[in-house]
Chain A
Amino acid sequence: MTTTDTKPTRPWAASPRDRALTASSVLLSLAITVGIVLGTPMKGKLAYFFVFLITWLIVDSLYVVRKFGAKGVRDALAAKITLYGAVVVSMAVFSILWATVDEGVAGLNLAFVTENMRNASFFDPIGKGGVLHAIIGTLVLIIISIIIAVPMGILTALYLTEIKGKAAGLIQFLVQAMSGVPSVVAGLFIYAAIILNTPLRASAFLGGLALSILMIPTVTRTAQEVLNLVPRDLREAGLAMGATQWKTVALVVLPAARSGLITATILGVARIAGETAPLLFTVGVFDGYNFNPFVGGTGTLPTVIWAGLGAGTPEAAQRAWSAILILLIVVLIMFVLARTVGSRQFKKK
């Protein structure tokens, strides 16, 4: 019989006093850090950073030991060190992102995305020549890879989730093994199997084949997860109505998993969009447009970057950064798409 309205509280949450103490320990550590760095021959932002990390570790431990003893200090140290680990990892990522944007933006201009390198060389200044051929080439490769890898990946996943035959364990193992194939080996294989044995020569088609080897395991794994999420009742309902298995799969299961399968495709594309090594063996480097995927090399973003770095000039390096900025944008778009489509899949459930 409560007559008054008691307010819920959280006595275990950090109180203002706790926060003030933490703030003061941070400030104190900052002050000491600045003192140390200025007083010693260390230099650079990173020096401040590392010294601060160590200083705060010590200062805060002194704060804690008074109230909580040695046990508390260990706990506080663990909390900080795990935080530091996460911070270092984040810093690496931000460094990569920042560098790409910072360096790449300088080389972006209209010419860059509308021309190819046919009439320009690596020594020409920015503004002459572009990577449109490479963008198109990468897109062509992606399309070819999707056409080859997605059906195979989904069919393999279907075997594992729908048919579940005796070979399922073996197939599962093989898919895992396939996901470990180094990209170099994939390219080398296509070269050995096709270029050395048949009249076919370097082309986008071969590149797509090599990339498919890398893409199939990713698609299979994601598709498998997604298909397993389709509730069993749906399948049983289909079968109970007298539908054959393939009709159930085609008309009930696959549509139910549709957005997840799209996610699987997108993740597969993200996996191969930036691959360079396989292309070096199967596609080569090419300056102009080539709309025939079966004959002749084509430019792709990764190989253009590769060639640019090989040339060694500052202009080439600039082009490389700008090209990779474009490539990164492509990958990021894939990434965001995969997440939004994927989450819609799970929200529906």
Chain B
Amino acid sequence: MEAQTNTEKNGTQMSEKNTTTPSSLSDVAAKRAEAKVAGTAPLGTGLEARGVHAWFDKHHALSDVSLDFSAGTVTALIGPSGCGKSTFIRTLNRMHEFIPDTSMAGQVLLDGKDIYEPGIDVTKIRLQIGMVFQKPNPFPSMTIGENVLSGLKLAQLKVSNQEELLEECLVRAGLWNEVKDRLGAHAGGLSGGQQQRLCIARALAVKPKVLLMDEPCSALDPGSTLRIEETISQLSKSMTIVIVTHNMQQAARVSDYTAFFLSDGGPGQMIEVGPTNEIFSRPRDERTENYVTGRFG
């Protein structure tokens, strides 16, 4: 398929990291846009951030970010280190508030309802907006099977057929064939890439509408990275995905939309957002162009 030959083509270009010309990235993105099949499952109206700010104590880390993540799309958040991408993604599932002395402003709407509304049940929000972290973090005291279903246990959700769900999630995460014979083994024995796919399966088990991924491949080898990127493409048919990534080629490979974040010493801001192939070929803002052409960052 076209998507796969792009990957091969990209393989040779991946070695020249910082000198990649915009045209090749945009080629990749354009090819992806063509190959993408429209989603079919009902996804709700997606996730929308309106005027989101974030503070760590007195430090203003994120300023006035508004992004609309349409249902069934993959959006990549790119930008240099420290510009607030991870902070922003954590405001989307209310993980930001776990850090002591933090505060925020603005709204995050899931299907039109603000998830920060007072009196809302936060745990239910997090069931609908899942997260995969940079470092794979399966629960070591549980087996592989228990890990996948742990979300159900924590939320006390009753499911009629757990084994079916278990298999389905592991298949979608691309891990089923490798672990189907050892579901009772402890999760610690898996490789890094396998652990990360296990975490993806675990996140899928509670059937989220949105999946947030904070640099999910940065701790993995290229082989696992590609597997996960395939998974992301598959998953985007049935959910909205937001992925933070340092790797522009990855953004070009997997995302429909890309948002560029930058901090000029002050709070991080979202400079520009658009369809991925446009961001890489015809960025509107000069700073975006400087970043994607590798002049900094």
Contacts and interface: CB of A to CB of B under 8 A. Distances in A.
**A–B in direct contact per CB < 8 Å:** yes
Interface of A: 1-2, 6-12, 15, 17-18, 67-68, 70-72
A71 B121 CA distance: 11
Contacts of B103: 8-10
A12 B103 CA distance: 9
Contact of B64 (A2, A15, A71): A2
Contacts of B118: 11, 15, 17-18
B104 A8 contact: yes
B11 interface: no
B129 to A, nearest CB: 15
Contacts of B117: 11
Given A8-B55, A10-B103, A11-B118, A2 B123 contact: no
A2 B117 CA distance: 23
Contacts of A70: 156
Interface in B183-221: none
A71 B124 CA distance: 11
Given A11-B116, A12-B97, A68-B121, A6 B105 contact: yes
A8 B97 contact: no
A70 B121 CA distance: 13
Interface string B22-59: 00000000000000000000000000000101010000
Interface string B121-142: 1110000000000000000000
A349 B63 CA distance: 35
A343 B123 CA distance: 40
Contacts of B269: 1
A8 B116 CA distance: 13
B265 interface: no
B286 to A, nearest CB: 15
A67 B53 contact: no
Interface of B: 51, 53, 55, 63-64, 94, 97, 102-106, 116-119, 121-123, 155-156, 267, 269
A6 B64 contact: yes
Contact of A17 (B63, B104, B119): B119
A13 to B, nearest CB: 9
Nearest to B117: A11
Closest 4 CB pairs of A and B: A8-B103, A11-B116, A6-B105, A8-B55
Contact of A12 (B94, B106, B123): B94
A314 B236 CA distance: 82
Given A7-B105, A17-B118, 14 more contacts: A1-B64, A6-B53, A8-B104, A9-B103, A9-B104, A11-B104, A11-B118, A15-B118, A17-B119, A18-B119, A67-B119, A68-B123, A71-B155, A72-B121
A315 to B, nearest CB: 55
Nearest to B156: A71
A9 B97 contact: no
B109 to A, nearest CB: 13
Contacts of A11: 104, 116-118
13 contacts: A2-B267, A6-B106, A8-B104, A8-B105, A10-B102, A10-B103, A11-B104, A17-B118, A68-B121, A68-B123, A71-B123, A72-B121, A72-B123
A67 B122 CA distance: 12
A55 B51 CA distance: 44
A267 to B, nearest CB: 30
B105 A9 contact: yes
B150 to A, nearest CB: 14
A2 B269 CA distance: 9
Contacts of A15: 118-119
B39 to A, nearest CB: 31
A10 B53 contact: no
A67 B97 contact: no
Contact of B122 (A1, A12, A18): A12
Contacts of A68: 121, 123
A67 B64 contact: no
A272 to B, nearest CB: 39
Contact of B97 (A10, A18, A72): A10
Nearest to B269: A1
Contacts of B116: 11-12
Contact of A6 (B51, B102, B119, B155): B51
Contacts of A17: 118-119
A211 to B, nearest CB: 43
B261 to A, nearest CB: 14
A194 B235 CA distance: 80
Nearest to B54: A8
A18 B120 CA distance: 12
Contacts of B267: 2
A1 B65 CA distance: 10
Nearest to B116: A11
Which of A10, A15, A68 has the most C-beta atoms of chain B within 10 angstroms of its own C-beta?
Answer: A10
A70 B102 CA distance: 29
Contacts of A67: 119, 121
A6 to B, nearest CB: 5
Nearest to B96: A12
A332 to B, nearest CB: 31
Nearest to B51: A6
A12 B155 CA distance: 20
A10 B102 CA distance: 8
Contacts of B104: 8-11
A72 to B, nearest CB: 7
A70 B154 CA distance: 12
A89 to B, nearest CB: 25
Contacts of A10: 97, 102-104
Contacts of A9: 103-105
Contacts of A71: 123, 155-156
Given A67-B119, A72-B121, A8 B156 contact: no
Contacts of A8: 53, 55, 103-105
A177 B51 CA distance: 61
